[in-house]
Amino acid sequence: MGKVILEMRNICKTFPGVRANHNVCIDLREGEVLALLGENGAGKSVLMSILDGFYQPDSGEIYIDGRQVRLTSPQAAIARGIGMIHQHFMLIPVFTALENIILGLELKGDPFLRREAYRSRVQEIIDRYGLAVDLDKRVADMSVGEQQRVEIVKTLFRSASILILDEPTAVLTPGESRDLFRVIKQFQADGKSVIFISHKMDELMEFSDRITILRQGEVITTFDTAQTSIKELASTMVGGDVQWAQNVHEKTAGDIRLRLEDVCIRDQREVEIVKHVSLEVRAGEILAVAGIDGNGQNELAEGILGLRHITGGRIYADGEDITNASVKSLLERGFGFVPPDRKSQGLVLDFSIRDNLLLEEMDRPAYSSRGFLRHREILRFAKELIGKFDIRPANPDALVKNCSGGNQQKVIVARVFSRRPRVLVAVNPVRGIDINATEFIHRRLLEQRKDGACIIVVSTDLDEVFSISDRIAVICQGELMGVCDAAAVTPEDIGLMMTGVRKEDASCG
């Protein structure tokens, strides 16, 4: 192993309402791949954003080659050879790849933008690492994989020797992921070091040198990859004290409640993002829709809920045609929705917890009559839900924007679940929240199933898919690859289908 080139010591960072990092220490050696493993919200991304100079730590030191440095900006970081590929790509969609790569470079010298002067140097990097990038294509017209390659070229062009990759495979197909691993091997061969953030243990086992595990903002331990196992990683990552929601596959499924027939959805640009999807979901059953982010699953969920126009096919609930019905009428029919983005879609952040809990209940005669709100009943209702769903702070008048992510999600879940929806659609219901809240929400989902709800969970996380679902539908590029019985299929098969292999061709039953 090479010498230690980077050290972070006792890093602390808090945000309003969240303690993101607490006394975190990590070190990185020359030419190694260090993996950062942890649940969502464990503080990995924040730690790396500090290393990238994007955030300033509240306390703690950073050493490069033994000398203490202050990374006051991403520019300072890249000047020290540290470059980060963010989870959400830092690219301007309306610019070309080349423009994105040279954006902000050499502002002090020649004021004019001479794109051609850079082209050959950029092309050199592209060729060296075999990164397929069309420099004159607008980023908006690129696939996610190509966008990621643009990001990598951009970072390499700024002569990074330490690369930070934040969950790079979350948006990639397995084939693209393998290409990425090959590129990373090439970096290692060139003596570059890589920090790789992930929560997919199998891929870390495959190509990392060491694995550092974070939990709730603190470093738990660091393993040599060769001397550990997935099992050990998993228990360390999660912490021994968590009880997983046990999915007992009770046969509770009843009649078909929701039926999708040949459903198609086009987006604003008239591109078909959901293609001829047909599904049946029964009462008392959880159907998981698995797929890599951005393959049309969110749009499908919104389409079912009347939030997006269905451009083809029909949707039936209890045999009645509900295609393109209004959101309001569907809510009245007993539909419930946990939307993908809680802050922008699920909550009114400037409202109190009470007012957020009321959002879908306001029309009930119990809470409003003749246009007037019944404050006393509303308060009782809010207090009840806060208690039942363990929402903190327990003050109904606290503003939701001051709650932690997990409690914000609990507000949504409380609002939706308390209505005992007959049809429930939840999109990534536990994304970005801590493990206890995750477990809590999963348990509630299973309760809803027991009560006979017809549930669709859209998830990108296979662990989640397998821990709660009865059947799994896999979607890829807007097309349904197949529906499998969760008990009779392996994660590998589902993973294969997520990349576009049809069920008939995968080996599952």
Positions in the binding site for another protein (CB under 8 A):
14-19, 52-55, 58, 73-76, 78, 84, 86, 90-95, 99, 102-107, 110-113, 305, 307, 326-328, 330-331, 337, 339, 344-351, 355, 358-360, 362-363, 368, 371-373, 375, 397, 402
Separation of first and last alpha carbons in the chain: 46
Do 199 and 40 form a contact (C-beta atoms < 8 A)?
Answer: yes
Closer Cβ to another protein, 236 or 297, answer by number: 297
Q: Is the dihedral of CA 225, 230, 234, 235 positive or negative?
A: negative
Sorted by sequence, the CB contacts under 8 Å of residue 375 that are 6+ apart come out as none
Closest distance to another protein from the beta carbon of 249 (Å)? 32
16-46 burial, b if ≥16 CB within 10 A, otherwise e? eeeebbbebebebbbbbbbbbbbbbbbbbbb
51 three-class SS:
helix
Q: At what angle do helices 174-189 and 491-498 cross, to 10 degrees?
A: 90
Closest distance to another protein from the beta carbon of 300 (Å)? 15
Closest distance to another protein from the beta carbon of 243 (Å)? 27
Closest distance to another protein from the beta carbon of 291 (Å)? 21
Extract the tokens encoding 150. Answer: 């643009």
Q: At what angle do helices 144-157 and 174-189 cross, to 10 degrees?
A: 10
Closest distance to another protein from the beta carbon of 256 (Å)? 25
Closer Cβ to another protein, 186 or 345, answer by number: 345
Closest distance to another protein from the beta carbon of 268 (Å)? 8
DSSP letter at 352 equals: B
Closer Cβ to another protein, 164 or 219, answer by number: 164
Closest distance to another protein from the beta carbon of 348 (Å)? 4
Position 112: which residue type?
A: F
Closer Cβ to another protein, 183 or 349, answer by number: 349
Residue 328 burial class via C-beta count within 10 angstroms: exposed 0-12, middle 13-18, buried 19 and up = exposed
Q: Please state, in angstroms and rounded to a whole number, the distance separating the CA atoms of residues 306 and 136.
A: 39
Closer Cβ to another protein, 324 or 507, answer by number: 324
Closer Cβ to another protein, 296 or 340, answer by number: 340
Closer Cβ to another protein, 362 or 487, answer by number: 362
The single residue listed with the structure tokens 């930070």 is: 164
